[in-house]
Chain A
Amino acid sequence: MRSDVKFLPIRKGLLEFLLLKIISADKVYVADILGRLEGTEFTTQEGTLYPLLSKMRRENLVDYEWQESEAGPPRKYYRLTAKGRTQLTELNDYWREINRTIQQLER
């Protein structure tokens, strides 16, 4: 992960987008999400993830349900709401647009 402070806001801003992407694929619980992000530019810790997920839940982008686990207490499994899906589509489009702009400027 790049330690440059200037890159930090970019990562922070994109994290929510990435979470929507991960959750859209399958019902996931926090350890899955952390595992998917581990080793990438977006390596995240519980301290960040739980508050962010809780905020997204309040914004009605994700919801969760309890599921028993074979070992230990029940886990929260997150999934996207209809609003979350809409937002993900919008963000995907927006991201493509940003990339297009960047590539155009490089020419």
Chain B
Amino acid sequence: MNKVTTVNLNGRAYQVEEQAYDALRAYLDQAANLLADDPDCLEIMADLEQAIGDKGSRCLGAGRNVLGEAEMKRILEEMGPVETGAEASGATPAAGANAGSAPAAARETSGPKRLYLIKEGAMIAGVCNGLAAYFNVDPTIVRLIFVALLILSTGFFAIAYLVLMFIVPTAKTAEERAAARGLPFNAQELVEQAKRHYSDIKEKHRRWRDNRRRDKERTFWRPKERHGYEGPHSHPFDRPQSGYGARVAAGIVLPLIGAISALLTVASVIALASLLTTGEILGWSLPGDVPPWAAVVAVVAVYAMVILPLRAVRYASYEALGPGRGWFVFWDGVLWLALVVLAWWFAANYVPGVDDFFRDLFHDWRDVTFDVARTIAAAG
């Protein structure tokens, strides 16, 4: 099952699968980029859109009304790479020889490339997948390298994976998926730039003549997204997506807060334990006039005071992560539990008295339950 998006190709609507949309958008953006200096940029874009639409129409019909990824790739292959007018007419050998490399260079410099987690086809969280897209290699190669490093470092490299998993944002929109591969994504700018060329008076006149004809057809490629079923209360696109930086920050802050609050929780429990058994908190004994219950209340109050702002920051970070953060909340919880267990194990092994206290507590608890049971039995 694939999500379907509706696109407007030169005034006609087509339904395409999401991957097909990504491919189409990458192609058109690249075309718009290459044609940026062409005075007829908009017109050529409209021509290209129409040609793609015509080819698409030929694939459809007879019960099929959605263009898939394979079909779109074939159509775009048929269209061929966009070559600018200056290049195609390159009469001198030098211009001709350079022609091949010029679009490649333009492709590399256009659009920011960012590291994202990519869930589509991911094995675990999409870290290797994202790295593969970033470095433009096969994900299998990245995974093999990762497994090799994991074995060589006797498992230590898993931490690197976990860190990336939490820090790197997930590519959720088509734009982000394209940015993960470094494809250009500044169509809007190019439209603005192309519009400036309209100032040419002669061109204006000609366009006016054409526009009368094609007024309705000519709409520069403006995709309209439509989503599959997402449940009655899910409107992820109502909420503006936070920036890449904010999401990276949230990715760093959340595990840190998880670690701090886990340590705090364990420290408080240990402090309470030692307070009840020895009347001391980590080697510091209470002044004579302070009753133990007051010390317990004080420890709980301090714990609550520190944990509350941490929790506030944590919720703020969840917000920054935007839609689809449920997955993150889950892993954050898992991380917190793991850290509690780790701190517990450390305390039980290295802090004197803690281990004994809990063994005693367990025995006391068993005695209490036995007493209660015996009382109930006697009453019955």
Instruction: Give A contacts to B, CB under 8 Å.
Output: 5, 8-9, 12-13, 15-16, 30, 44-48, 50-52, 54-58, 66, 72-74, 76
Contact = CB atoms under 8 A, between A and B. Distances in A.
A52 B50 contact: no
B43 A54 contact: yes
Contacts of A8: 96, 99-100
Interface in B76-94: 78-93
B4 interface: no
Given A45-B80, A47-B80, A74-B214, A52 B96 contact: no
B59 to A, nearest CB: 14
Contacts of A56: 85
A55 B48 CA distance: 15
A4 to B, nearest CB: 12
B175 interface: no
Q: What is the predominant secondary structure among interface residues of chain B facing chain A?
A: helix
Interface string B89-121: 111110111011000000000000000000000
Interface string B17-56: 0000000000000010001001110011001101100100
A8 B83 CA distance: 13
Given A9-B97, A73-B12, A54 B80 contact: no
Contacts of A54: 38, 40, 43-44, 47, 85
B85 A9 contact: no
Given A52-B83, A74-B213, 5 more contacts: A9-B91, A16-B89, A45-B81, A51-B84, A54-B44
B57 interface: yes
Contacts, number: 101
Q: What is the predominant secondary structure among interface residues of chain A facing chain B?
A: helix
Nearest to A64: B210
Contact of B89 (A50, A52, A57, A76): A52
B47 A48 contact: no
B40 A12 contact: no
**Residue from A44, A45, A50, A58 whose CB has the most chain B CB atoms within 10 Å:** A50
A5 B51 CA distance: 28
Nearest to A63: B206
Given A46-B80, A51-B35, A54-B43, A5 B54 contact: no
B129 to A, nearest CB: 30
17 contacts: A5-B100, A9-B92, A9-B97, A12-B87, A12-B88, A46-B78, A48-B88, A50-B48, A52-B88, A54-B85, A55-B38, A56-B85, A58-B85, A72-B54, A73-B50, A73-B217, A76-B47
A48 B38 contact: no
B11 interface: yes
B47 A50 contact: yes
A48 B43 CA distance: 14
A94 B228 CA distance: 60
B31 A47 contact: yes
B11 A55 contact: no
A51 B44 contact: yes
A13 B89 CA distance: 5
A42 B321 CA distance: 52
Given A47-B48, A51-B35, A58 B40 contact: yes
Nearest to B202: A58
Contact of A51 (B38, B51, B95, B96): B38
Contacts of B50: 73
Given A9-B93, A58-B40, A48 B214 contact: no
A79 B10 CA distance: 23
A45 B83 CA distance: 10
Contacts of B97: 5, 9
Query: What 6 A-B pairs are tightest by C-beta distance, nearest first?
Result: A9-B96, A45-B80, A55-B85, A47-B80, A54-B40, A47-B82
Nearest to A72: B54
B86 A55 contact: yes
Contacts of A51: 35, 38, 40, 44, 82-85, 88
A12 B47 contact: no
A12 B89 contact: yes
A73 B213 CA distance: 11
Contacts of B38: 51, 54-55
B31 A12 contact: no
Contact of B39 (A13, A30, A58, A73): A58
B51 A50 contact: yes
B13 to A, nearest CB: 13
